[in-house]
Amino acid sequence: MKFFVDTADVAEIADLAAAGLVDGVTTNPSLVHRAGRNMLEVVAEIAAAVAGPVSAEVVATDAEGMLREADVLRAIAPNVCIKVPLTAEGLKACRRLSGEGTKVNVTLCFSAVQALLAARAGASFVSPFVGRHDDVGFDGMALIRDIRRIYNNYGFGTEILVASVRHPVHVLDAALIGADVATVPPAVLRQLLRHPLTDRGLEAFLADWAKTGQTIG
């Protein structure tokens, strides 16, 4: 499973990328707002920092407006992926963009049939929101299982990009189900590295090494 980092914080992305943990990046208007910076500048910096897809979201609600904004966004860098909402207008834009060879991430997916429609429109990625699904009393991972089965049934090439990831168990479950990508906030991505036994083991090794009085190099 690939890891995308869900942030508009360029420093965070660079730090995680140095550890080989970043296959791509997802952004959205809320993340850009939190960063307090110009969206186009942020997307350009992120696209230069990572080799993989960088999702940049349109804010128009009609297909023609989405396409105009997509022209601006995809001109920033070749690895920019256009993010559109899972609406009828969004699918119209997706169909046009994907037909032109542009990667499209169809976002705000909350049902398996919505994911089916996104795949039929030629989406490169579909983003089901598992955390938000859980918040309203549904099982976010059941949604991922259903989408995986439908895509396998018909051989769709659309990648399942698990979004709204809240904790490491979401990542584990997504990997077990066979999701293609998880887009993860930096804090959760760092949590994946941690285990108390790793910390204790390292402390013991370092304590024993100190007793040897040796150095390396």
Structure tokens at 146: 């259903």
**For residue 194, is it within any domain?**
yes
Phi, psi of 25 (to 5 degrees): -140, 140
**For residue 217, is it within any domain?**
no
**Mean pLDDT, range 3-22, rounded to an integer:** 94
Structure tokens at 31: 């993340």
Task: Determine whether 81 is exposed, middle or buried from the number of CB atoms within 10 Å of its CB (0-12, 13-18, 19+).
Answer: buried
Q: How many domains does the chain have?
A: 1
The neighbouring-strand residues paired with 85 are 107
- Averaged pLDDT score across all residues of the chain: 96
**For residue 27, is it within any domain?**
yes
**For residue 68, is it within any domain?**
yes
Q: How confident is the model at residue 34 (pLDDT cuts 50, 70, 90)?
A: confident
The pLDDT of residue 35: 85
CB 58 within 8 A of CB 105: no
The length of the chain is 217
Q: Which range marks the domain in which residue 90 is found?
A: 2-212
**For residue 162, is it within any domain?**
yes
| Distance in angstroms (rounded) separating the CA atoms of residues 179 and 175 | 6
Provide the whole-model pTM.
Answer: 0.94
pLDDT tens for each residue of 95-147: 999 999 999 999 999 999 999 999 999 999 999 999 999 999 999 999 999 99
The pLDDT of residue 36: 87
- pLDDT over 90 at 154, yes or no: yes
125-128 and 104-109 strand pairing: parallel
**CATH number, domain with residue 166:** 3.20.20.70
Q: Crossing angle of helices 39-49/10-18, nearest 10°?
A: 10
**For residue 193, is it within any domain?**
yes
**For residue 161, is it within any domain?**
yes
Q: Which residues are catalytically annotated?
A: 83
Contacts of 203 (CB under 8 A, 6+ apart): none
- pLDDT over 90 at 174, yes or no: yes
**For residue 165, is it within any domain?**
yes
Q: Which candidate, 58, 56, 74, places its Cα nearest to that of 66?
A: 58
**Mean pLDDT, range 43-72, rounded to an integer:** 97
